[in-house]
Amino acid sequence: MGARVETQVADNPLHGLALEEDLDIRDPLRHYMGIESSDSTVVQSYSMLPEQQYSVQNDLIKLPLGQRSDTPEIVLTLAISAREGCGGVAWPAGQVLADYLIEKGSDFLKGKTILELGSGTGLVGLAAAILGGHVWITDQAPLLDIMRRNVILNDLSQEVTVAELDWGLPIPESIPKPDIILAADCVYFEPAFPLLVKTLTDLSDTSTEILFCYKKRRKADKRFFVLLKKAFTWTEVLDDPARSIYSRDAISLLRLVKR
């Protein structure tokens, strides 16, 4: 446990879930940094992702995707930098979702309007664009520069648009209604749970395909699914050959359908 959180726990009059929530508000990134209070499980990374220091600034990684399928491998070049927040590095659920898109192949994405929420480095959306989608990668303002850089580094300026999209706020008029919504590793900060559900609701109708990849880190995550249930049903994606590998890392890939 990190010294900073140790102090926060020791001085804190709260216990259990209330303590977890209080620590989340003080430091929303603590679950990602492997800094946990004593009753939580420390984060393990998905095994295929290149090692990234979570203090990294202005680094480049090569991220090979689709290695587990018979389809051609895609290698993304990604600028990473944690200075912009947790989205500035690539996360395991993003790799799982990108690998699944490659597994599905370009017939699934070709010609479709695809919108990724909480894109971070943009890795999922960039893979979707290489597979033939018209892609919008979106995030909060501090991530936009790194996303733009990654679009250029992968020569995808024709296929990918970068846009600011803050969950819970009205959808900007410039953003089109997507055929497919993608989201990876977006469940981690409890105050954002209702905002993410609102944005998913605003962007979709009953025919929108939504692929939602999620890594379970703590009990409080279930509150996200309590909110989600009011507007969506979901099923686990079963046709992914890599499922038995990533489910050992508590990662699930879900297909959401609006009620």
Ligand X SMILES: C[S@@+](CC[C@H](N)C(=O)[O-])C[C@H]1O[C@@H](n2cnc3c(N)ncnc32)[C@H](O)[C@@H]1O
Residue stretches of the annotated binding site for S-adenosyl-L-methionine: 91, 118-120, 139, 167, 184
Q: Return the ∠ at Cα 166 (arms to 36 and 170), rounded to 5°.
A: 140
Residue 106 Cβ, how far from ligand X at the closest point, in Å? 21
CB nearer to ligand X: give 9 or 195: 195
DSSP state of 53: -
Closest to 183 measured CA to CA, from 253, 247, 114, 116: 116
CA distances from 71 to 101, 122, 131 (A): 11, 21, 11
Query: Half-sphere exposure of residue 218, counting CA atoms within 13 Å on the CB side?
Result: 25
DSSP state of 154: T
Residue 184 Cβ, how far from ligand X at the closest point, in Å? 4
CB nearer to ligand X: give 188 or 232: 188
d(CA 15, CA 17) in angstroms, rounded, equals 6
CB nearer to ligand X: give 9 or 48: 48
Residue 225 Cβ, how far from ligand X at the closest point, in Å? 17
Query: Half-sphere exposure of residue 216, counting CA atoms within 13 Å on the CB side?
Result: 14
CB 169 within 8 Å of CB 198: no
Residue 11 Cβ, how far from ligand X at the closest point, in Å? 27
CB nearer to ligand X: give 14 or 75: 75
Binding residues: 91, 118-120, 139, 167, 184
Query: What 3-state class would DSSP assign to 17?
Result: helix
* Amino acid at site 195: L
Question: Would you tell me which residues interact with ligand X (CB under 6 A)?
Answer: 85-87, 90-91, 93-94, 118-121, 123, 139-140, 143, 166-167, 184-186, 192, 195
CB nearer to ligand X: give 9 or 33: 33
The region, left, alpha or beta by phi > 0 then psi within -120 to 50, assigned to residue 14 is beta
Residue 76 Cβ, how far from ligand X at the closest point, in Å? 11
Nearest residue to ligand X, by Cβ distance, number only: 87
Contacts of 204 (CB under 8 A, 6+ apart): 178, 181, 210, 256, 258
CB nearer to ligand X: give 9 or 56: 56
Question: What does the block give as tokens for 170?
Answer: 């009205």
